[in-house]
Amino acid sequence: MAGITDPRPPLPEWILECYDLLCSHASQPDRGKDAVQVIEYDDATDVLLSDSELALEQRDVEYALTRLLERGYFYEVEDELRVTSPEEQC
């Protein structure tokens, strides 16, 4: 995630809303100490496209997911989006 010393501007509010929504749909398959929340990439796309409040188009969803990955909110492993660290989980 962008830290205090990060020179980049903060993410737009609508992208942060996408993150919050995805976290609410993510699951935590392992309950161990190092377990992370996971959501399938295709499921994440479906969740964002179907949310009537966000009312996003496919290009918007792709852009939001790309920005969240670039900023480290998620990392991708075999078509799964995983929350970066347990301390930062939603």
pLDDT at residue 86, as a whole number: 45
Residue 77 lies in a domain: yes
Q: For residue 42, what are the domain limits?
A: 13-24+37-83
- Whole-number pLDDT of residue 37: 85
CATH of the domain at 67: 1.10.10
Domain count, the chain: 1
Residue 50 to residue 90: CA distance in whole angstroms: 20
Q: What is the DSSP letter of 6?
A: -
Two tokens, residue 1 = 């995630």
Q: Does 44 fall in a domain?
A: yes
Q: What's the pLDDT at 50?
A: 96
Per-residue confidence in pLDDT tens, the chain, 90 aa: 555 666 778 899 999 999 999 999 988 776 665 677 899 999 999 999 999 999 999 999 999 999 999 999 999 999 999 888 644 445
Residue 5 maps to a domain: no
In a domain, 88, yes or no: no
